[in-house]
Amino acid sequence: MSLLVTGSIAIDTIKTPYGFSENCIGGSAVYFSMAASFFYPVRLVGAVGSDCPFDMAKIFAGRSVDLAGLEVRKNSKTFRWIGSYRENMDERTTDYIELNVLEEAPPDVPAEFKYSNFVFLANTAPNLQLKLLNQIDNPVFVAADTMDFWIEGQLEDLKKLLKKINCLMLNEDEARLLAKEHNLIKAADKILGIGTDVVIIKKGESGSLMCNSNGDRFILPAYPATVVKDPTGAGDSFAGGFMGYLAQAGKADFASLKTAVAYGTVVAAFTIADFSLNGLSSIDKTNIDNRLETLREVTSF
Amino acid sequence: MSLLVTGSIAIDTIKTPYGFSENCIGGSAVYFSMAASFFYPVRLVGAVGSDCPFDMAKIFAGRSVDLAGLEVRKNSKTFRWIGSYRENMDERTTDYIELNVLEEAPPDVPAEFKYSNFVFLANTAPNLQLKLLNQIDNPVFVAADTMDFWIEGQLEDLKKLLKKINCLMLNEDEARLLAKEHNLIKAADKILGIGTDVVIIKKGESGSLMCNSNGDRFILPAYPATVVKDPTGAGDSFAGGFMGYLAQAGKADFASLKTAVAYGTVVAAFTIADFSLNGLSSIDKTNIDNRLETLREVTSF
């Protein structure tokens, strides 16, 4: 089995009620890779500009993250994001954004990555997600993230993408927008009608809902975290724990998907406990497994 | 064991995006009693005016609901409420309210009800809840509901009440208001610091959170209902299923409390599937047990 992610590497500046972190490492591919590497080796595909201040090999030192798909583009600049969170940590404001390298052609998937079984297409324009996916030969399980901007502006491309992937992840507002339906169970069923096999609707501090086209359903609360300093990267860490577990299990039946959602939930809770990658870089797999048992205990009856 | 509820009997008029129900039976004691009677005999304490159009004995026909505590006050009028719900069924508007009998002295607890083990004090002014509770001899487990109006206006009485009861139920906004804390786990712990043993925070379509003063926690999603016609009575039906199961079990250890929350969740889902009592009057205990198993299945991993 093999696991590949396509996504962003970002220079983030984040303000929350609990602190401030300037020019720290971020981006969907980075959070995903950190989270997934607890479970399975990760192949990272992404691009930075020549201004990138981070030594990616050092950031992933000691972790099984293959950087053969990391492009450093000489005449480009790295994606930058400045954002802030208020007391209600579920809502965030983008204060400043420079897409830079993200506005260019997507990176090439290296020849040695083309045969990858489990693939995560982090949030970007759905036509770019399709172009990236087209570079992979016969993947087994493909998951993608999306957002309101693409649902509103590139719906036809998104629908094409949905027919090519196995799992869509999106948040509750995005699910309602895409399905034009308030009830989330019905919304999930409507999205499944467009084309994917599995839909995971993320509800922030209220957890997540997973439905598949066979009518199977799974509902899991968020991990009961009392320390939430910076929600940035929660969704991509969730995806990383989810896909990392599936790649490790080597299968994607509904029982495995349920456990994968639980692992994603737990890993995301570590991410939001501190700024940038600090929450994930300070733990090991035992911490994750212990929290999984706690989550099982506090949700079972 | 014995189970007693104090609360309202209402003439409700309800508008939702799915229909309209005029002058139908409602009220906290009514929803509670219907819900709890699936599990255990219920003693109802409440008052109506001489205008009450409902034959309460007929409404509870075939169910074990003892109406010895129902006062019909000749010179009073029954509580009336007119409310409406928008597409987001979590939010409701009170369009018209007549407190009538609810503004008067609370009903007397009949002599034959004074020795009751499990007691639910439905939402009303905390000083009235205290007066009602003072009429009960040595209850084993007392739960109470409250709302923002009392938290803002009668906080000291509410704190006195908290020291006398075993379990407080309130919704997430009310919990944040009472605790002055956004994080719900921390909010629950702060409320437990004021005086009760167990706090249940209801989160509407996102389920509920239960914490006790020993640090035990339980988080359960809502039942995945696709049919929601009228949310009125959901909270009191939850309380009815919860307290009914506890009375039946004859104990309130944390394992029993978890199962009780699950039963409350399931019963509330039946209530909201139709207007007034129609959702509850059309089912039997087998339907409830089947949904409990479904809820266990869709939440376990």
pLDDT digits (tens, 9 = 90+) for A74-115: 999 999 999 999 877 777 899 999 999 999 999 999 999 999
DSSP B14-44: EEETTEEEEEEEE-HHHHHHHHHTTTS-EEE
Is the backbone of residue A117 left (phi > 0), alpha (psi -120 to 50) or beta?
Answer: alpha
Q: Please answer yes or no on whether A225 and B261 come within 8 Å at the CB atom.
A: no
- Which member of A185, A259, A301 has the closest CB to residue B301? A259
**Are B210 and B197 a contacting pair, CB within 8 Å?**
no
pTM: 0.92
Distance from CA of B300 to the nearest CA of A (A): 7
Judging contacts by C-beta atoms under 8 Å, the chain B residues touching residue A226 are 183, 185-186
Centre a 10 Å sphere on the Cβ of residue A23 and count the other Cβ atoms it contains: 13
Residue A145 has pLDDT above 90, yes or no: yes
* Residue to substitute from A206, A210, A253, A296, interface B, most B β-carbons within 10 A: A206
Q: What is the pLDDT of residues A107-140, one digit of tens each?
A: 999 999 999 999 999 999 999 999 999 999 999 9
Pure H helices in chain B: 28-36, 56-59, 126-133, 148-153, 155-162, 172-179, 184-194, 234-249, 254-271, 278-281, 285-299
Closest CA to A242 of A133, A168, A148, A158: A168
A301 has a chain B CB within 8 A of its CB = yes
**Whole-angstrom Cα distance, residue B210 to residue B188?**
8
Compute the average pLDDT of residues B161-188: 96
Q: Exposed/middle/buried for B259, CB within 10 Å: 0-12, 13-18, 19+?
A: middle
**What's the Cα-to-Cα distance from A204 to each of A90, A224, B184, rounded to whole Å?**
6, 12, 13
Residue B207 has pLDDT above 80, yes or no: yes
Number of residues written out for chain A: 301
Q: Please answer yes or no on whether B185 and A224 come within 8 Å at the CB atom.
A: yes
Distance from CA of B121 to the nearest CA of A (A): 25
Distance from CA of A221 to the nearest CA of B (A): 6
A219 has a chain B CB within 8 A of its CB = yes
Edge-to-edge, what's the strand order for the sheet holding B167-171?
B65-73, B42-49, B3-6, B118-121, B141-145, B167-171, B198-202, B208-212, B217-220
**Whole-angstrom Cα distance, residue A208 to residue A182?**
15
Residue A226 has pLDDT above 90, yes or no: no
Judging contacts by C-beta atoms under 8 Å, the chain A residues touching residue B207 are 206, 219, 221
Confidence of residue B225 (pLDDT cuts 50, 70, 90): confident
Instruction: Tell me the ipTM for this assembly.
Output: 0.90
